[in-house]
Amino acid sequence: MVRVAIISDLHFDVNKQSVADILSQQATYLRQQRVGVYLIAGDITNHFDQSLAYATAIQRELAPAKVRFIAGNHDMLHDVTYAALESPLAPTYLHAGYLDIAGTDWRIIGNNGWYDYQFADNLQGRNFLAWKRAFWIDSTIIQPISDSERMDHVLTVVEEQLQAAHIAKKHVLFMTHFVPRRDYIRYTDDDRFWNMANAMMGSPRLGELLARYQVEIVQFGHVHRHFAPQQFGVTWYYNQTLGYHNRRINEWQGTNFMTEWQQRLRIIDLK
């Protein structure tokens, strides 16, 4: 048996937390919980180099336990190109890669994910790209293809990963950042900001693909709401986002970052 701890959306910089101060506390807690794999489903910071530095540092603290992360849209905002994100940048970066858990039949598959506007299909005739460029934080992310084409590429890569896992007769824990099911999308009965933002939440096509391959566990982030684990078919879905706490927004239930991190952290035993 291996204990896997999952979390996402740490947002160290938005939450004004010192990584150096928090890192050793997290490592101590994870060791106390006998965690063998620590998975972070994106949005660690607003700079990829800082997110990678955190993953590298906590991996060093936790070894021989494994640390793996993928990039969320916030990690993509600065200092990393689309081509770099699609490459194996570091041992801790799991996008388009996998980690087989020694002593088990489990494989952890990672993919950053993306979106294709399909979660905003309640709105007709809208120019989602123009809205994104004007109002959404992802406007600074440069890519050589459209959002729909980027999502097509994600699905192609993920299906190849799932086919390989099936051939290898592996159970799969799939980690992504963006939302894979409509069940996690909030709709309102008017044309407010949130209905437009749903275009950038993820894609229902990813959830359909995961269901087709009967993936057993899915971890994702991006939406900063507190969902209990839910099972759809054979698949258990976990959204363990930590979220924001600043002068304008308080999404925490705990009193400080470490308390919130411990409360949002989910530990799963893989046998």
Q: Which residues of 92-106 are buried (b: 16+ CB within 10 A; e: fewer)?
A: bbbbbebbebeeeeb
Parts of the chain with a pLDDT under 70: none
- Sign of the torsion formed by the C-alpha atoms of 7, 208, 115 and 152: positive
The span from the CA of 229 to the CA of 19, in Å, is 28
**Confidence at residue 47, expressed as pLDDT on a 0 to 100 scale:** 97
Please report, as a single letter, which amino acid is at residue 166.
H
Rounded to whole angstroms, how far apart are CA atoms 33 and 49?
A: 28
DSSP 8-state secondary structure symbol assigned to residue 219: E
Question: How confident is the model at residue 213, as a pLDDT?
Answer: 98
Number of domains in the chain: 1
pLDDT at 22: 95
Burial bucket for residue 244 (CB in 10 Å: 0-12, 13-18, 19+): middle
Kindly tell me the sign of the dihedral angle through the C-alpha atoms of 28, 31, 35, 37.
Answer: positive
Which CATH number covers residue 264?
A: 3.60.21.10
**Res 249: pLDDT:** 87
Q: CA-to-CA distance for 189 and 198, rounded, in angstroms?
A: 13
Predicted pLDDT of residue 83 = 98
**What is the span of the domain harbouring residue 18?**
2-270
Contact by Cβ (8 Å): 30, 210: no
| Residues 220 and 176 sit within 8 Å (Cβ to Cβ) | yes
Q: Is the whole model's pTM more than 0.85, yes or no? A: yes
pLDDT value of residue 247: 80
